[in-house]
Amino acid sequence: MPDTVKTRVLWDDLPADLRAEIEHVLGGGVVSAQSQAGGFSPGSADRVTTADGRRAFVKTVHRDRNEGAYELHRREIDVMRLLPAEVSAPALLGTVVTED
């Protein structure tokens, strides 16, 4: 099994315009974020809460840092869109894909 990533990008380290796009998807400004350690991608993995109390798990990855992880995230989005409602899994609230 591959080693887990020791250092992830933190929520506060994401570009401000990307955080704003994510907040738009979530329907409100993020007031707290807990970045998660470990994992298999150098991208961020954050538990966030918006001003109105909505909670979400946000994952990001930069294609230039890890092309493989970027492609895995894209496939995960495709699979989540196909899951029927009766599957016990967190809902896909939305996606943001940028040129970066």
Q: Per-residue pLDDT tens, the chain, 100 aa: give them.
A: 455 545 788 999 999 999 999 999 999 999 999 999 877 777 899 999 999 999 999 999 888 888 888 888 889 999 999 999 899 988 899 999 887 6
Helix (H), strand (E) counts: the chain:
2, 3
Tell me, yes or no, whether 2 lies in a domain. no
Q: Please tell me the predicted confidence (pLDDT) of residue 1.
A: 43
Q: What range does the domain containing 73 cover?
A: 11-82
Tell me, yes or no, whether 63 lies in a domain. yes
Residue 57 structure tokens: 């798990």
Q: Please tell me the predicted confidence (pLDDT) of residue 4.
A: 52
Q: Please tell me the predicted confidence (pLDDT) of residue 13.
A: 92
Q: Please tell me the predicted confidence (pLDDT) of residue 91.
A: 87
Q: Please tell me the predicted confidence (pLDDT) of residue 68.
A: 84
Number of folded domains that form the chain: 1
State how far the Cα of 71 lies from the Cα of 69, in Å rounded to an integer: 5
DSSP letter for each residue of 5-30: PS----GGGS-HHHHHHHHHHHTS-E
